[in-house]
A = this chain, B = another copy of it.
Amino acid sequence: MKIIESDFHAWMGEIQARLESALARLLPAAHIAPARLHEAMRYASLEGGKRVRPLLVFAAGELAAAAPERLEVAACAVELIHAYSLVHDDLPCMDNDVLRRGKPTVHVEFDQATALLAGDALQSAAFQLLADQRLAEDPRTQLEMVKTLAIAAGSRGMAGGQQIDLESTGKALTLPELEFMHIHKTGALIRAAVTLGAACGVIDSSRKNALDRYGKAMGLAFQVVDDVLDYDGSTSTLGKTAGKDSRQGKPTYVSTLGLARARELANELRAEALEALADLGERARRLAQLADFIVLRKF
């Protein structure tokens, strides 16, 4: 097992802090009308999570020598899509969850209608950010970035994955079906994070393909580990309701493969991700460390 170098944690903390302050600055202030909506949008986005997707944006951006000011905006856009999806997922008509990141979910803290609108407006805000200032050398590349995020978020990406998830509750899925679900539900946005980070800089097509293989493997790895942790972890460590998926009768990698094989699969996907990075040199270091971090995390 590769040991994550100690500077990784410093780097991660720096990106997380940078993202937090960028989100705080880029989201409309809480006093701007409609204040309750803006409060809810900020509540849903700030002080949240490990920021895995933004970390991937920055790590991929390093490979493409992208300017941090650009990566910051792209990372915020991806994170706002993620934040909106959590708000809508937690609604009573979806997962009906009351706890997220150790705090009451948005519809509990505010109300359902405000949560619905806050999610909707966070999605719009993500696309506004991606179009608002120069993020790529060529504006056509930037339009590609908008398209990439839209596809990753939409019916053939994240939202589509959620729909498959809904329809799978109470069913046993085969491994290919489970993979299809997660490639959409979690994988698409993680893959987009990597693509968007690289698009902020300059990257040739062979490195781009290698990166995409990495992003694809990481997208799945992330979900496999999530399933293991949901099975294994406690609510207090996770900051969200543990064991929820199995109680809701949702198929997971653990229910489909068993715990031991799910853990193995996560490690195989990590190896696949690292393999994709093999020829990319020193600048792929953060991506490699993130692969380790995501697969070996305990929360």
Contact = CB atoms under 8 A, between A and B. Distances in A.
Interface string A114-132: 1011111101110110111
Interface in A123-178: 123-125, 127-128, 130-132, 138-140, 142-144, 146-147, 149-151, 153-157, 159-160, 162-164, 166-167
Nearest to A130: B146
A162 B151 CA distance: 26
A100 interface: no
A127 B123 CA distance: 10
A38 interface: yes
B128 A139 contact: no
A41 B33 CA distance: 31
Contacts of A53: none
Nearest to A124: B154
Contacts of A269: none
Contacts of A9: none
Contacts of A157: 124
B155 A124 contact: yes
A246 interface: no
Contacts of A143: 131, 139, 142-143, 146
Contact of A155 (B28, B93, B113, B139): B28
